């Protein structure tokens, strides 16, 4: 079982400046990586025999407290090696694009669609990036963004609150 710090050193050795660093945010430490490197880092984490991160447990989209960025947080684990890791990518709110990890962990499909639908993060190379919870014709924004305003009407009907 490897610690987050040991995994960080492996990633820095392989990916250099694409690995931004370690964030100690309770309750878990996170490794920040660049959005462009996400897919390659995920493939490395899954395929490396020492790491064997075979399971994506959770993917969450977040509207960051600073108001200008969005983040995607990935909780992954190795069932065989018994270690866990948290990765984070941060994207600008005005152009929230990162890479899809569906080809690495198939269960990311629905998680990425949810982050797209509710936060507005686009995932390049996702096989079917369409809304999953909101109506397909919803054009009032992304409900989990901090600047979201509930629409007064939807398809001519008053929206009750």
Residue partners of 84: CB distance under 8 A and separation at least 6: 57, 75, 76, 77, 78
User: Does residue 84 lie within any of the structural domains?
Assistant: yes
User: Does residue 154 lie within any of the structural domains?
Assistant: no
How many structural domains compose the chain? 1
User: Does residue 117 lie within any of the structural domains?
Assistant: yes
Tell me the per-residue pLDDT of 71-91, one tens digit each, with 9 for 90 and over.
999 999 999 999 999 999 999
User: Does residue 54 lie within any of the structural domains?
Assistant: yes
Tell me the per-residue pLDDT of 97-126, one tens digit each, with 9 for 90 and over.
999 999 999 999 999 999 999 999 999 999
Cβ proximity of 79 and 93 under 8 Å: no
Question: What is the overall mean pLDDT for the chain?
Answer: 94
pTM above 0.85? yes
User: Does residue 155 lie within any of the structural domains?
Assistant: no
User: Does residue 156 lie within any of the structural domains?
Assistant: no
User: Does residue 8 lie within any of the structural domains?
Assistant: yes
Counting residues of the chain whose pLDDT is more than 70, the rounded percentage is 100
Residue 159: the pLDDT is: 82
Residue 103: the pLDDT is: 98
Tell me the per-residue pLDDT of 29-87, one tens digit each, with 9 for 90 and over.
999 999 999 999 999 999 999 999 999 999 999 999 888 999 999 999 999 999 999 99
CATH number for the domain spanning 68: value is 3.30.460.80
Residue 25: the pLDDT is: 75
Is the C-alpha dihedral spanning 123, 129, 131, 137 positive or negative? positive
User: Does residue 20 lie within any of the structural domains?
Assistant: yes
């Amino acid at each position: 079982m490897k610690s987050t710090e040991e995994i960080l050193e492996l990633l820095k050795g392989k990916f250099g400046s694409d690995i931004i660093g370690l964030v100690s945010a309770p309750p878990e430490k996170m490794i920040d990586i660049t959005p462009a490197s996400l897919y390659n880092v995920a493939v490395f984490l899954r395929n490396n025999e020492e790491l064997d991160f075979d399971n994506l447990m959770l993917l969450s989209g977040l509207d960051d407290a600073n108001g200008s960025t969005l983040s995607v947080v990935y909780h992954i684990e190795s069932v065989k090696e018994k270690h866990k890791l948290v990765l984070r990518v941060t994207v600008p709110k005005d152009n929230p694009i990162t890479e899809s990890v569906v080809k690495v962990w198939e269960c990311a499909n629905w998680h990425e669609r949810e982050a797209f639908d509710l936060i507005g993060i686009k995932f390049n190379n996702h096989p079917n990036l369409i809304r999953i919870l909101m109506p397909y014709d919803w054009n009032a924004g992304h409900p989990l963004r901090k600047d979201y305003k509930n629409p007064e009407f939807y398809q001519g009907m008053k929206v009750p609150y």
